[in-house]
Structure 1
Amino acid sequence: LELTETIWGKSKRGSLLWLLDKTDTAMGGRLLRQWIQQPLLYKKQIEDRLDAVQELMKNPIKMEEVKELLRKVYDLERLAGRIAFGSANARDLLSIKQSLQLLPVLKEILSSSTSGLLIKFHREIDTLEDIHSLLEQSIFEDPPVFLKEGNLIKEGWNSELDEYRLAVTEGKNWIAGLEQQERDKTGIKNLKIGFNKVFGYYMDVTRSYYDLVPESYVRKQTLANSERYITPELKEVEDKILGAEEKGIRLEYQLFLETREKVGNEVSRIQSTAAIIAALDALCSFARVSYDNNYTRPVMLEDGSIKIKDGRHPVVEKTMSNGLFVPNNTDLQTGKDHLMIITGPNMAGKSTYMRQIALITLMAQIGCFVPAKEAEIGIVDRIFTRVGASDNLASGQSTFMVEMSEIADILHNATGNSLLILDEIGRGTSTFDGLSIAYAVVEHICQSLKAKTLFATHYHELTELEGMLPGVKNYCIAVKEQGDDIIFLRRIIRGGADKSFGIQVAKLAGLPVEVIERAKKILKKLEDADINKVKSQNKKLQAADSNGAYQLDLFNTASFEIVKELKDMDVNVLTPIEAIGILHSLVQKAKE
């Protein structure tokens, strides 16, 4: 069904998640993916989501206000995890603070809600104002990435830290004043005070002023064009500055750890609020997609029926350049018309139609509006699909083995409330083997599982099952023939198809003309041979019938009924009138 990624390419684009994901937060995107992978099973929960989506659709201004706020919210779930593990830095705490300051506004927007879920969100969302206040007062507005570089804690949060900072500031101001003071005192006009990590603060004097250097200067380093000196006063102030700076950084780090721990003690509250924001984001995404694409609210039922009027494939419709998607109807009812045998040529749209039913059902059960004019969706417990051909060479499994393994899994686990999507079962082996398996699978579904099933096949013999097995109905994809060409009308209609149009599809695919022409000749020979074979078999059957032996057709169960009725009949007790009535009834059955 390509729910979260495409089969070919494994990309998000082209999947149902790509279509529905208009979330504004990372946590909302993760939750929406989870909703798609785990649809709801209870009507009350589904209706709650649908009510919320409907309210947001009817109030697009409110929806946009919510989405505008959510765009500014950071990933609170991940940030809370970092805090819990003790790996959050100052920028993480700043992100939490910036997210929390939006919560009072969000709560106010939700105050006018009327749907149950949005009212619950308004009631339960924690604005976390105490945590916001703590971070607002303590964490510096532009902190570094690393925690031991200082500038983590705001001024005024801790008096001891403020004293250290004052000492550093005053010391640096004193050094800046000392530079000008020493220039005036010594007459060395280009004297400069610098700093390096090897021996701290120093005074740099160029070669031309060596004779003006006072005796109180202590030489520390000689360079090519200058010498570096220190003085006892300079070293004394340096000790104060470096000591205060080092102690300040250590104290800042300790204060940050204490602040982070305080926030960590409230991590469960942050996670609860994050969960509400994620759910609200996902619901807004549903509302935005439903509003933009003119989706309809589904009516949720518990009677097992699926009735869809003018249903559309949500993803195919969105990716079509001309926007001319042909909608189709669906009517499935558990225990009644619950198995659709769908025939028609390749490329006509059988797989698209079946997948659209599954996707519409799934969209309804995750609480989203659906692409249809009207939709009544009976809640299903599982959706099983067997679509496409694939092998598993690493495990030594052929395409047919993989197909049979998947069918086995479906038949063992499906229930009467499941939805089955089966595409061309048995095509990976010989015609008779495949037909026999497909027939047996349909028979098992009808007689044992009674699950709602869409069964696409090229075995046109299976269309004879309508009327023989309960709940089977034939459908086909309408095709218009124009000479040797075909036009796919994409409309599903009652009845079975009598041709597969394989050669016409091969022509559309671009096979060489000589290959197409040769295929037509071979097809005619095969069809003629098949007709002659049928005539020959009929003559043999007639001859066998005259000798009292008759072999029944595989699918002709009506003959069994007539024979059984004749065997059970006692002609000795029949009146002439009864005999004529029974004979008339048997003639009618034989004609049918």
Structure 2
Amino acid sequence: MQDNLTPMMRQYREAKDSIPPDAVLLFRMGDFYEEFFEDAEVVSSTLELTLTKRQGVPMCGFPHHALDTYLPRLVAAGVKVAVAEQMEDPKFAQGIVKRQVTRVITPGTIMDNALLNPSCNNFLVSLAAAKEKRALACLDISTGEFRVTEISDGHKLCTELNRLGARECVISHRLAAELRETDGFPETRNKILWTELDNDDFDFSRAEEFLKEHFKVATLDGFGCRNLPLAVSAAGAVLRYATENLRQDAKHILKLEVYSVDHSLELDSISQRNLELVETMFGGGKSGSLLGVLDHTVTPMGGRRLRNWVLRPLCEHDAIVARLDAVEQLKLDPLTLAELRETIGVVRDLERIVGRLNIGSANPRDFQTLAVSLGVLPGVKTLLEVFDAPLLEQLNNRLELFPELSEKISQAIADEPPALLSDGGVIRPGYSQQLDELRAAATDGKGWLSQIQQREQERTGIKSLKVKFNSVFGYYIEVSKANLASVPEDYIRKQTLVNAERFITPELKELESKILGSEEKARALEYQLFQELREFALGFTGGIQNAANALADVDALLSLAECARLHHYNRPGIFEDDRLIIKGGRHPVLDAAMTGSEKFVPNDCLLDGDRNRMMLITGPNMAGKSTYIRQTALLVVMAQMGSFIPADSAEVGLVDRIFTRVGAADDLARGQSTFMVEMVETANILNHVTPKSLVILDEIGRGTSTFDGLSIAWAVAEFLHDDPGCRCRTQFATHYHELTELAQTRRGVNNYNVAVKEYGDQIIFLRQIIPGATDRSYGIHVAKLAGIPTPVIERANVILELLEKAADAPRDAIASLPRNTVKARRKKGREDESDDMIQLRLL
């Protein structure tokens, strides 16, 4: 088959064999990227392009300048893409044009700005396993962040994968087989691309040698990897995979950080979703989430850092207090706060610019942006010097200045450089005398020749003298035979014709060398100068990354201070005991969304590890129970991430985990009903809760019969209160009024309800949480507000009255009620339906 292919198609097959088998190949041919065979079918289907055939070979393609349009769509569809570029100018190629695969783009190895979300990291992760232990390595190739951890708890592993929001995970064939056999894939399996690698890629010795070679070190102990062989295996595999796809060494990855998931408040994927920390449950947008309220960052790095803080609140008292101290000082100086935000707002994505510089994909505008961004650092340092909060002083000390690099870029790069180096005009005039001469030759060559011709005509007196050009001799002077006697001695005869002779001069040949190919030479020299500038800038990689990291922290702190200033937040007190005392707390998202005269109703919270261990909250739907309990969890998240909170005052004892069970939904993909999902989530809480946890429960047991549901809810509440391994702070919202009796037998349970005012058959929700139990659910009132037809509401009231008198009344007793109590609207096609049938249908 290979022998029958044309040279072009053989070249295509060779390129195809060099990439992962599940990747499609975009093959550059002139002004188009072409796809053939099975790749053409995938690309045409994904991009809705016309699929054609030539000599029986399926093919499709698109213009090379449309790559930035089509590539994001392919990657978003989960397609791995390899790009083969032309490595030489077709005009000068000897035979077939040389082509080479320059990069392989997978969801976890994206470097293109057009494919990246500036406010989110793009993590590629790897998993390695041995016995009961798991190691997870995460790498953001676009920013250079590279971290690894070892985890023995499978639940924590799933939590960390969700928190990272990983796009792609690499694992060995052996581990993949084990996970499939035990259905042990983490819960993110439907959101992540799983890439299987050879088992040898996770071999410890091979991974260790690869990492040592990359970092140019003799041992990995300096990174904290001693006695962490599984972590080294995962880290080596993920970095090798990334660099092989990039076809580059990724020199901007300068360190490997070992971290522990135990150093942050644990928020599993369910709690992240229920609390809408970084995106809403419906629509998935940032607006309407906690991050949407807190995010006033002005740089991409700051946006990513704040997002990470929201998903990874702190668990260490001193670290939280240090952030709060910094936020407090910034909030109390609004003028400097505003000036800092304005100054930092000029900074662009330094982390990703440095990444592109190191892999050679940075364009001229990246250099200009880099110089402008680095140029504001002195102003930032000056403004930060007015603060004495230890964290702000530390960050200011980490802000290194780069005057030499900024000056070099400003001298070299034009004021308005093109996006592409190949377009020319990148290097500023005056930076290189040789380049200036070549550019002048390319633009002024004809003028120079005209000047020489006029001068030689005047010098020789030969009015018919001409300066001409041909491909054999280049530039020459032509003189008719009648004027040969006037030819100067310094003319060198080159060719004799019938009616004329052709001459050259040293000056003309020197000018020829400047003119001919001057444009190509200028571009070649410009490329060389650009690469020299790039090499110079690479020497500052580590310093720029450190400064970018510090700027990200500063920007995130400024955002929290600005949010506290705008919304009148107050500083929470942080303690190491089990208290959770909030006065006048408000839901941060709803409070920020309310405008004008409408104001959010504040509420208190009193929880501790003793007599106020569980708040049992009853009250009608729509009254605000779910909002209130979510509010408590959100305020704890804010406090432990180092943010001021919307409350009059707060005393927050450190929480290690937050668990939520809110809402109901089927999981049809796993064949689980609403009730099964509820029970699975409840089981997860009961199996992992600790005495330092905060548990938020809403309507446990409502997906089954009344007595089943009540029994389960009762038992869950008792377990959380009584079990020595739990005894945690809990808010339990329920419609089961019977549960309020727990307060009579459990010293740590206290009843609360949502205040309601009644006016006749109307109710008003006061949104106020008050001590005591409620004895009514007001469900029929809520149904009326929802628009349930009046006959149904009237019939429901009759049935409710009967049920309240005799909870075990048989169905036929209800159905035998007088017919005149039924006022039903007969629909078309049911005019002949009896009242008895209507009664049964309503029941």
Q: Same fold per TM (> 0.5)? A: yes
Superposed CA deviations along residues 53-94 of structure 1, whole A, max 9, x for unmatched, are 111111111001101111111111111111122110111011
Larger Rg belongs to: 1
Q: Supply the AA of the counterpart residue of 1:477.
A: V
Secondary structure of the residue aligned to 2:383 is helix
Alignment-derived partner of residue 760 in structure 2 = 483
Q: 2:545 aligns with which of 248, 268, 271?
A: 271
Contact map agreement 2:617 2:734 (CA 8 A) in 1: yes
Alignment-derived partner of residue 118 in structure 1 = 392
Secondary structure of the residue aligned to 1:274 is helix
Secondary structure of the residue aligned to 1:376 is strand
Contact map agreement 1:29 1:282 (CA 8 A) in 2: yes
Alignment-derived partner of residue 515 in structure 1 = 792
Alignment-derived partner of residue 405 in structure 2 = 131
Contact map agreement 1:137 1:157 (CA 8 A) in 2: yes
Alignment-derived partner of residue 257 in structure 1 = 531
Superposed CA deviations along residues 505-560 of structure 1, whole A, max 9, x for unmatched, are 11111111111111111111222223889xxxxxxxxxxxxxxxxxxxxxxxxxxx
Q: Supply the AA of the counterpart residue of 1:2.
A: E
Q: Supply the AA of the counterpart residue of 2:769.
A: I
Alignment-derived partner of residue 573 in structure 2 = 299
Contact map agreement 1:446 1:470 (CA 8 A) in 2: no
Q: 1:455 aligns with which of 723, 729, 732?
A: 732
CA distance in 1, matches of 2:410, 2:278: 40
Once the two structures are overlaid, the 10-residue window that deviates more, 521-530 or 478-487, is: 521-530
Q: Supply the AA of the counterpart residue of 1:302.
A: E
Contact map agreement 1:317 1:323 (CA 8 A) in 2: no
CA distance in 1, matches of 2:276, 2:450: 68
Alignment-derived partner of residue 445 in structure 1 = 720
Alignment-derived partner of residue 69 in structure 1 = 343
What percentage of aligned pairs have identical amino acids? 51
1:549-564 matched pairs, under 5 angstroms = none
Question: Closer, same or farther in 2 for the Cα pair 1:350/1:174, shift >3 Å?
Answer: same
Higher strand proportion: 2
Q: Supply the AA of the counterpart residue of 1:67.
A: R
Contact map agreement 2:412 2:431 (CA 8 A) in 1: yes
Secondary structure of the residue aligned to 1:10 is coil
Question: Closer, same or farther in 2 for the Cα pair 1:294/1:169, shift >3 Å?
Answer: same
Alignment-derived partner of residue 400 in structure 1 = 675
Unaligned residue ranges in structure 2 (runs of 5+): 1-274, 476-501, 811-843
Secondary structure of the residue aligned to 1:476 is strand
CA shift for structure 1 position 180 = 8.9
Q: 1:528 aligns with which of 780, 805, 824?
A: 805
Question: Closer, same or farther in 2 for the Cα pair 1:172/1:69, shift >3 Å?
Answer: farther
Secondary structure of the residue aligned to 1:153 is coil
CA shift for structure 1 position 256 = 0.9
Q: Is residue 2:639 matched to residue 1:353? A: no
Alignment-derived partner of residue 31 in structure 1 = 305
CA distance in 1, matches of 2:619, 2:297: 39
Q: Supply the AA of the counterpart residue of 2:624.
A: G
CA distance in 1, matches of 2:451, 2:581: 87
Q: Supply the AA of the counterpart residue of 1:10.
A: G
Higher helix proportion: 1
Alignment-derived partner of residue 283 in structure 1 = 557
TM-score (norm 2): 0.56
Contact map agreement 2:438 2:514 (CA 8 A) in 1: no
Q: Supply the AA of the counterpart residue of 2:697.
A: L
CA distance in 2, matches of 1:500, 1:182: 107
Alignment-derived partner of residue 417 in structure 1 = 692
Secondary structure of the residue aligned to 1:530 is coil
Question: Closer, same or farther in 2 for the Cα pair 1:104/1:522, shift >3 Å?
Answer: same
Q: Is residue 2:771 matched to residue 1:494? A: yes
Superposed CA deviations along residues 244-272 of structure 1, whole A, max 9, x for unmatched, are 33222212101211211221232111111
Unaligned residue ranges in structure 1 (runs of 5+): 202-229, 534-592
CA distance in 1, matches of 2:614, 2:683: 18
1:310-349 matched pairs, under 5 angstroms = 310-321=584-595, 322-349=597-624
1:173-212 matched pairs, under 5 angstroms = 173-175=447-449, 177=451
Question: Closer, same or farther in 2 for the Cα pair 1:528/1:138, shift >3 Å?
Answer: same
Secondary structure of the residue aligned to 1:475 is strand
CA distance in 2, matches of 1:113, 1:445: 45
Question: Closer, same or farther in 2 for the Cα pair 1:347/1:175, shift >3 Å?
Answer: farther
Contact map agreement 1:22 1:288 (CA 8 A) in 2: yes
Which structure exhibits the higher relative contact order, with contacts defined as CA atoms closer than 8 Å and separated by 6 or more residues?
1
CA shift for structure 1 position 102 = 0.6
CA distance in 2, matches of 1:349, 1:389: 17
What's the Cα RMSD here? 3.0
Question: Closer, same or farther in 2 for the Cα pair 1:344/1:187, shift >3 Å?
Answer: farther
Q: Supply the AA of the counterpart residue of 1:148.
A: S
CA shift for structure 1 position 285 = 0.8
Alignment-derived partner of residue 21 in structure 1 = 295
CA shift for structure 1 position 183 = 13
CA distance in 2, matches of 1:180, 1:434: 104
CA shift for structure 1 position 101 = 0.7
CA distance in 1, matches of 2:301, 2:450: 51
Question: Closer, same or farther in 2 for the Cα pair 1:3/1:241, shift >3 Å?
Answer: same
Q: Is residue 2:414 matched to residue 1:140? A: yes
CA shift for structure 1 position 357 = 0.6
CA distance in 2, matches of 1:84, 1:40: 33
Q: Supply the AA of the counterpart residue of 1:114.
A: D
Question: Closer, same or farther in 2 for the Cα pair 1:427/1:262, shift >3 Å?
Answer: same
Contact map agreement 1:152 1:253 (CA 8 A) in 2: no
CA distance in 1, matches of 2:750, 2:652: 19
CA distance in 1, matches of 2:673, 2:759: 39
Q: Supply the AA of the counterpart residue of 2:591.
A: E
Alignment-derived partner of residue 562 in structure 1 = none
Alignment-derived partner of residue 583 in structure 1 = none
Contact map agreement 1:348 1:490 (CA 8 A) in 2: yes
Alignment-derived partner of residue 161 in structure 2 = none
Once the two structures are overlaid, the 10-residue window that deviates more, 423-432 or 464-473, is: 464-473
How many residue pairs were aligned?
501
Q: Supply the AA of the counterpart residue of 2:779.
A: G
Q: Supply the AA of the counterpart residue of 2:306.
A: L
